Every structure is written in C-alpha cells, then in structure tokens.
C-alpha cells in the first residue's frame, strides 16, 4: 500500500502501475550520455490538432530508433517531459557526469513536449525527423545556447528539491 501517515506527513492512496516487456539485453539502452564526441539529436513530436499524439510519426521514429539501437549507432534516448529539452539534457548528463554543447530552439528548451526525444548516437543519423543539436563533451559542463552550468550544480538543484520531504541523508540515528 502506498498510503498512510509518517510523522507529520499524510500520504493519500496512490495507484502504482508497472509494465514489462521482453527483449534482448543487447538492445536495451539507458538514458545517460555514454561518450564524449557522440552526436545529440532532437525529435520534436508535434501532436495532432485535437491534441492526441501523432501515432504515425511516433511509430516511424520508434522503428528508426530501434533499428539504430540494434546496429549500435544509438546508445541513449531520453523522453522530453515537463521542463522540456533543457531538463532532459540535464538528466542525461547526471549518470556519467558527461556534459554537452547544445544549440537548440529557445521555444523547446523549457516547454513541455510529450512524445519528443533526445537521442545520443555514435555516428551521424539520417532521418528527416531528427535535428542535430549538439555533441557530448567530457567537460563536466552542460552548455545550452552559450549558457554554461556545471553538472554538479544541476544535480544538486535537482536532487535537493525534495530533500526536506524525502531525505537522502539520515539526520540522526533513530533507535
């Protein structure tokens, strides 16, 4: 159960759902940047007029991505959610502390764009659906449109947001 009370915190009932699929482990990738020199691409999902996802575009890009994962060209992919491209890039930087130099449209940087993707590839990808936006760097810095921020500062801001609510360090030993 994901409901109850802890100290002064009341947790409402929460539904948690998991989905699983089988696949070959060599075709499973994670979202963190893998290596300096890799190219960074942006897939900009444009929803239909009625607000529903463009399923044809998504199916096409998913098939393209999967084929390029199998061939070893694509090594990481991150979904763009709340916070836009900038937050997705920051999260990709955290895992291996690899930065990137990015030039992206200002309108996509912080915009919620469900269905859009950031893709890291070892080599050039040929798809009209993708826009080359930058390169992975071993600098410890995420540089987006000439604004530089150290990855350690971004990670501290990201993990510190809920530190008071969900502490990662025990303040005192509870006996």
Task: Give Cα 49 distance to the centre of its chain.
Answer: 26
Contact 119, 41 (CB under 8 A): yes
CB-count exposure of residue 129 (10 Å: 0-12, 13-18, 19+):
middle
- Element at 57 (helix H, strand E): helix 55-70
Contact 42, 85 (CB under 8 A): yes
pLDDT band at 171 (very low <50, low <70, confident <90, very high): confident
Report percent pLDDT > 90 for the chain.
70
Look at residue 3 and tell me whether its pLDDT is greater than 70: no
Look at residue 111 and tell me whether its pLDDT is greater than 60: yes
Question: Three-state DSSP class for 107?
Answer: helix
Q: How many CB atoms lie within 10 A of CB 142?
A: 26
pLDDT at 175: 67
Q: What is the pLDDT of residues 118-128, one digit of tens each?
A: 999 999 999 99
Look at residue 58 and tell me whether its pLDDT is greater than 60: yes
β-pair partners for 144: 102, 147
Q: What is the pLDDT of residues 5-35, one digit of tens each?
A: 667 777 777 777 777 888 899 999 999 999 9
For the segment 107-120, the average pLDDT, to the nearest whole number, is: 93
For the segment 154-174, the average pLDDT, to the nearest whole number, is: 81
């Amino acid at each position: 159960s994901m409901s109850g009370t802890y100290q002064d915190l009341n947790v409402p009932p929460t539904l948690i759902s998991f989905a699983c699929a089988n696949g070959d482990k060599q075709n499973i990738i994670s979202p963190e940047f893998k290596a300096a020199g890799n190219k960074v691409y942006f897939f900009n999902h444009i929803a239909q007029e009625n607000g529903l996802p463009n399923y044809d575009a998504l199916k096409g890009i998913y098939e393209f991505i999967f084929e390029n994962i199998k061939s070893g060209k694509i090594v990481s992919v991150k979904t763009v959610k709340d916070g836009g491209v900038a937050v997705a890039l920051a999260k990709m930087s955290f895992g291996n502390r690899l930065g990137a130099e990015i030039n992206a449209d200002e309108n996509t940087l912080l915009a919620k764009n469900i269905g859009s993707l950031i893709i890291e590839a070892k080599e050039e990808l040929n798809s009209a659906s993708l826009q080359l936006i930058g390169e992975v760097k071993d600098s410890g810095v995420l540089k987006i449109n000439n604004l530089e921020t150290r990855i350690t500062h971004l990670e501290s801001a990201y993990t510190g947001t809920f530190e008071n609510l969900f502490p990662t360090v025990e303040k005192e030993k509870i006996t």
